[in-house]
């Protein structure tokens, strides 16, 4: 095969595996719903662990492990150790940083302004709850925020265009503060 096709075929193989995994999960989910219907109609009660068979706690976990390996595993390990109160506080902290950055963006504050860079330092500390990115990884995370519509849609809820603004601010921060 030609080199360009090798990458394409490898990507197709990964996609095929992901689809098969999703199909298997959906089949388990359909079985769970059918058993739930049966139970509700007076059939055999389901065990607690059966109630959620096929439901994914983190639909992007498999993809993250495939893309980022041990970093994703560590991030999931950390998040899994949080009690609900801790998880809520961490989420609120991330949301607050986004609100602060969205206000700066709407005000036309340049991404290299000290107040924006202070907010990005808070963002970097917030990311540290999940993993500790170096310069290259933090810049890559900013790119991901813009390139992956799942991330950009979530971030842009605080303000349209925030994902791109945050990416640019993260790049400045990474180049000046990280190794």
**Do both 66 and 143 map to the same domain?**
no
Angle at 14 between CA 8 and CA 20, to 5 degrees: 135
- Supply the pLDDT for residue 55: 46
pLDDT at 65: 64
pLDDT at residue 32, as a whole number: 64
Pair 110, 161 in one domain: yes
- Say yes or no: 21 and 36 in one domain: yes
Closest CA to 87 of 95, 79, 97: 79
Shortest CA distance to 116 belongs to which of 143, 91, 140, 98? 98
Q: Which pLDDT score, from 0 to 100, does residue 17 have?
A: 79
Radius of gyration of the chain (CA): 21
- The secondary structure of residue 159, as a DSSP letter, is S
Which are the contacts of 156, defined by CB distance < 8 A and separation ≥ 6?
Answer: 162, 163
Residue 68, Cβ neighbours under 10 Å: how many?
Answer: 16
SS3 of 109-130? CCCCCHHHHHHHHHHHHHHCCC
Query: C-alpha distances in angstroms, 15 versus 7, 21, 63, 132, 176?
Result: 12, 10, 10, 29, 38
Q: What is the pTM of this model?
A: 0.64
Residue 179: the pLDDT is 93
Domain of 98, CATH number, reads 1.10.490.50
Answer whether 54's CB lies under 8 Å from 28's CB. yes
Task: State whether 151 and 69 are in the same domain.
Answer: no
Residues 19 and 39 in one domain: yes
Nearest to 65 by CA among 17, 24, 7: 17
State the total domains in the chain: 2
Is residue 23 domain-shared with residue 7, that is, in the same domain?
yes
- pLDDT computed for residue 51 by the predictor: 46
65 and 91 share a domain?
A: no
CB contact at 8 A, 76 and 61? yes
Same domain, 61 and 101: no
Range of the domain at 61: 3-80
Among 50, 80, 110, residue at a domain's last position? 80
What's the pLDDT score for residue 145? 95
- What is the per-residue pLDDT across 147-158, written as a single tens digit (0 to 9) for each? 999 999 999 999
Do 63 and 101 have their domain in common? Answer: no
Query: What's 57's DSSP letter?
Result: S
Task: Say yes or no: 70 and 13 in one domain.
Answer: yes
Mean pLDDT by runs of 10 across the 179 residues of the chain is 66 75 67 66 58 50 67 77 89 96 98 98 96 92 94 95 98 97
Same domain membership, residue 152 and residue 115: yes
Task: Examine the domain organization and report whether 19 and 56 are in the same domain.
Answer: yes
């Amino acid at each position: 095969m030609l080199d360009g096709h090798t990458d394409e075929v490898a990507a197709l193989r990964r996609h095929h595996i992901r689809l098969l995994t999703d199909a298997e999960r959906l089949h388990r989910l359909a079985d769970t719903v059918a058993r739930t219907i049966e139970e509700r109609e007076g059939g055999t009660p389901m065990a607690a662990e059966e109630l959620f068979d096929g439901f994914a706690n983190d639909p992007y976990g498999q993809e993250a492990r495939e893309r980022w390996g041990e970093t994703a595993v560590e991030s999931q390990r950390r998040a899994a150790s949080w009690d609900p109160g801790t998880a809520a506080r961490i989420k609120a902290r991330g949301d607050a940083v986004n609100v602060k950055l969205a206000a700066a963006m709407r005000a036309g504050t340049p991404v290299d302004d000290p107040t924006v860079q202070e907010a990005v330092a808070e963002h970097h500390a917030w990311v540290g709850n999940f993993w500790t990115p170096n310069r290259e990884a933090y810049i890559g995370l900013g790119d991901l925020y813009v390139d992956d519509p799942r991330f950009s849609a979530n971030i842009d809820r605080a303000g349209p265009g925030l994902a791109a603004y945050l990416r640019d601010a993260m790049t400045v921060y990474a180049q000046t503060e990280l190794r």
